[in-house]
Each structure stands twice: as structure tokens, then as C-alpha cells.
Amino acid sequence: MSHLFHAIIHSPFLPVPFRPGAAAAPSLGVNVAWPSRALRLPRASADKREQAMEEQGGAAALGWAARDATGVLSPYNFSRRVPRDDDVTIKVLYCGICHTDLHVIKNYWGNAMYPVVPGHEIVGVVTGVGGGVTRFKPGDTVGVGYFVGSCRSCDSCGKGHENYCAGVVLTSNGVDRAHGGAATKGGFSDVIVVSEHYVLRVPDGLPLDRTAPLLCAGVTVYSPMMRHGLNEPGKHLGVVGLGGLGHVAVKFGKAFGMKVTVISTSPSKRQEAVEHLGADEFLVSRDPEQMKAAMGTMDGIIDTVSAWHPIAPLLALLKPLGQMVLVGVPNKPLELPVYAIVPGGKGVAGNTVGSVGDCQAMLEFAGKHGIGAEVEVIKMDYVNTAMERLEKNDVRYRFVVDVAGSLGSAA
């Protein structure tokens, strides 16, 4: 195996740097699989860290956690860290359920650090601020997305790409190195404590339940659309997978004035995609005739699919020099035959959520254009059924947990 394969890849999807080849045997450049090796804190030391946090007197929190790879969630008491000067304490109102939460609680990516309190699409209200906080005050409506920390000194952070910082701290199932290495606990809980640098302002007028999914699903599609020029009126965007991420991509594409085509495995989604979400066209990806007719027509494609699928037929839909952006994270490697990109000079890029700046800009854009996710709001005691339904592709298009309405007002 080439020495290149041993380069350390730091991924915000993983709690610690991942060495390719350790388990999943990725192939360079085309691999979007995530490692299957278990990366758990040693149990005893994790317990000690939790205990240390309790002793420091952080706020008591009630959450729902998965304890093992069954992924079954149940009530879980823990403590938040003692707020620092730059910390904002937030009462969680709503939290979206992202497919990433499902991948993690069932340990499909091999990186679960149980107990896992999922949730990284958080909208809440500020209940307290540290002495050094300048941007928020109690009563503000705020959001928290996929990450709650970064080193703030590396090249990526300096350029405003905290999402690509090697020291990024995920909101859930991350390693909070600044706090004894405790595993972070996400938004399926009544209270969360976050440095103000990673807290987003929710524009007035946005419905809070429909805004929660924007904090991950929204920015994950908005950010690469901006970066790759897939935000220009008249351009043709393909959106693969009409789920949580995909349906928001359709909405952003239409708000940018683009032609948008949904590429889906679910013919039953056609009517809604066109009539309700505003898609211009709908292709069934398993219908070779439909796919053939659309070859060479698209400027860009956002692929949000959560499971293994062939990407060569999707790349054939791109015009020469067209751009594919992979954002879905199947746990098996995708295949990229060079003939699918070399002759047309096509690009294949990846993308992980977006920076704090991207996320704030996305929220402002959503506020201006009235964009929110299509949601099914549930109580926390429905969450295990919701996870089963999400796994079966039975959601239109995002579950959102009414956290405050389920867990009371402990915050």
C-alpha cells in the first residue's frame, strides 16, 4: 500500500484522526467509506471523566442516549461542563434527526463512544452567558450545528473553515479535549453549553421547528453550492436522494433561480418533489431510459445518498467540466471509474457541513427566502420509532424532536 494511504485524515465525522487502511481499506481519491474500527474511550477512564465533570458542578442535564450498537435510545442523566467565560448556556427547544445520528448510534461508522446522546441540529433559547460573551444575551434564539469547537489557530480555522480543522469538536460523539476528553453529548437533551464562537443567530420570523434541520442538512448543501458556483440562475442542478439534505438542496437551488432535477430511487416522491418542493424534473435513478435521456445536461450534482450506490451513471448526467459534490456518507466505498470523469474533465468533490460563517449566511438566506425544512415534529418517546422509519426511508423529510415539549423545562 502506498505511503500516501498512511497519511492521517482528520475528519469531523470521526472523534480522533483516522488512518486510512486501518480497517476499511479505502482506495485513494474515490473512497467515501468511513472506517469500521471501534474508537471508544476506555470505559473506566470515560467514567472517571464523567465523574470529574459532575464534581465540578456543571448543570444537570437530562438527555436520551444509545448505550450500545442496538442504537436504542433511553433517558440518560448527565452533567454539562461548568460554563467558561465565553460559554453560552442554551435551553434546547428543537433538535432535528440527521441520518448521521443513525449511522453513529448503530455504530455503522465504528466510531460510537457510548453512551451517545445524538443531535446536532439544535435550536434553543439562551438562558445564561459567561462574563466574556459579547454576541448573545439571555432570551436570544440561537442554533448549534455539527460542531462546537475547533483549535482556532490552524490554517483551516484561520481561513474560516473551522469545519475542516483537525481539532474540530463535534456536538455529539466528539472528543472535548479542552474538558478532559469527555465525549460530547448532543441536542437530544434539555440543556447544552457551547462557546459563543460556535453559536448561530436564528433570524427573526423563521419557524423554529423547521429551522432546526438547517443547522446541519441546510448548511451541508448550501456551503458546497456556494463554493462550486452552483448558486447561479439558469444553471442546472441535480440533487440525488430526496431526504433530509436533498429536499433542502432543492429549495436552495430554486431560491438561487436554478433549474433543479431530483434523482431518486423513490417514484412515489415525484409528485411532491415537483408540486410542493418546486423541482423542475424528477428522474428515477433505477430507470436507465430516464437516466440516458438526461445525460450531459447538468452543471452540478449534490449527492446526498446515505447508502452505497453506483455513481458512474450520475456522473454521466453532468455536462463537460460539471461538478459532482458528495455529501452523503455510506459506510461502504463508492466506485469511481476514471472513464466517468476523465473524458469530460468532470470534478468530484466532498464536503463536510460548512463553516460557522457559511452556516450564519445560510440562515440569513433562509430567513430572506422563507426556507425551512419539511418536518414531522415528534416527542422524544417516539424517537426509536423515528430512527426505524428513517432507516426505512419513511420520512417526509425530516424528523424534529420537540425537546422542550418532551423533557420539561429543566434548563
Site for ligand NAP in 71-100 (CB under 6 A): 98-100
Nearer to ligand NAP among residue 327 and residue 403 (C-beta) = 327
Name which position in 216, 325, 334, 387 contacts Zn ion (CB under 5 A). Answer: 216
Nearest CA to 402 out of 95, 123, 140 is that of 95
The two beta strands, 298-303 and 318-326, are: parallel
Q: Three cell numbers at 147? A: 460542531
Could you tell me the smallest distance in angstroms from the CB atom of residue 237 to ligand NAP?
Answer: 15
Check residue 274 and report its DSSP letter: I
State the Cα–Cα distance between residues 240 and 254, nearest whole angstrom. 15
Is 100 a binding residue for Zn ion by CB under 5 A? The answer is: yes
Q: Are 234 and 257 in contact (CB under 8 A)?
A: yes
Could you tell me the smallest distance in angstroms from the CB atom of residue 269 to ligand NAP?
Answer: 6
The two beta strands, 347-350 and 318-326, are: parallel
**CA-based angle 288:294:300, to the nearest 5?**
120
Residue 170 DSSP SS3: strand
Nearer to ligand NAP among residue 10 and residue 49 (C-beta) = 10
Could you tell me the smallest distance in angstroms from the CB atom of residue 166 to ligand NAP?
Answer: 16
Residue with the shortest CB distance to Zn ion? 98
Element (H, E) at 126: strand 122-129
Helix 244-255 / helix 356-369 crossing angle, nearest 10 deg = 70
Name which position in 214, 245, 283, 362 contacts ligand NAP (CB under 6 A). Answer: 245
Element (H, E) at 197: none
The site that binds ligand NAP (CB under 6 A) totals a number of residues, namely 30
Cis peptide bond N-terminal to 397, omega within 30: yes
The site that binds Zn ion (CB under 5 A) totals a number of residues, namely 3
Nearer to Zn ion among residue 172 and residue 264 (C-beta) = 172
Name which position in 227, 393, 405, 406 contacts ligand NAP (CB under 6 A). Answer: 393
Name which position in 116, 242, 317, 411 contacts ligand NAP (CB under 6 A). Answer: 242
Residue with the shortest CB distance to ligand NAP? 243
State the Cα–Cα distance between residues 317 and 295, nearest whole angstrom. 4
Site for ligand NAP in 278-317 (CB under 6 A): 304-307, 309
Backbone torsions φ then ψ of 326, nearest 5 degrees: -90, 120
Task: Provide, for the chain, the percentages of residues in helix, strand and coil under a 3-state DSSP scheme, each rounded to the nearest 5.
Answer: 30, 25, 45
Could you tell me the smallest distance in angstroms from the CB atom of residue 282 to ligand NAP?
Answer: 9
State the Cα–Cα distance between residues 319 and 235, nearest whole angstrom. 11
State the Cα–Cα distance between residues 402 and 95, nearest whole angstrom. 7
Could you tell me the smallest distance in angstroms from the CB atom of residue 400 to ligand NAP?
Answer: 12
Could you tell me the smallest distance in angstroms from the CB atom of residue 154 to ligand NAP?
Answer: 19
Could you tell me the smallest distance in angstroms from the CB atom of residue 205 to ligand NAP?
Answer: 25
State the Cα–Cα distance between residues 254 and 257, nearest whole angstrom. 5
Is 98 a binding residue for Zn ion by CB under 5 A? The answer is: yes
Residue 377 DSSP SS3: strand
- Using CB under 6 A, which of the segments 167-175, 183-191, 264-272, 316-324 binds ligand NAP? 264-272
Is 329 a binding residue for ligand NAP by CB under 6 A? The answer is: yes
Could you tell me the smallest distance in angstroms from the CB atom of residue 328 to ligand NAP?
Answer: 4
Nearer to Zn ion among residue 163 and residue 264 (C-beta) = 163
Name which position in 261, 264, 323, 355 contacts ligand NAP (CB under 6 A). Answer: 264
Backbone torsions φ then ψ of 66, nearest 5 degrees: -90, 135
With cell 463536510, the residue in question is: 352
Could you tell me the smallest distance in angstroms from the CB atom of residue 241 to Zn ion?
Answer: 14
Q: Are 244 and 394 in contact (CB under 8 A)?
A: no
Is 248 a binding residue for Zn ion by CB under 5 A? The answer is: no
Nearer to ligand NAP among residue 13 and residue 78 (C-beta) = 13
Name which position in 148, 334, 341, 390 contacts ligand NAP (CB under 6 A). Answer: 390
Is 53 a binding residue for ligand NAP by CB under 6 A? The answer is: no
**Binding site residues, ligand NAP, CB under 6 A:** 98-100, 103, 216-217, 220, 241-246, 264-266, 269, 304-307, 309, 327-329, 351-353, 390, 393
**Binding site residues, Zn ion, CB under 5 A:** 98, 100, 216
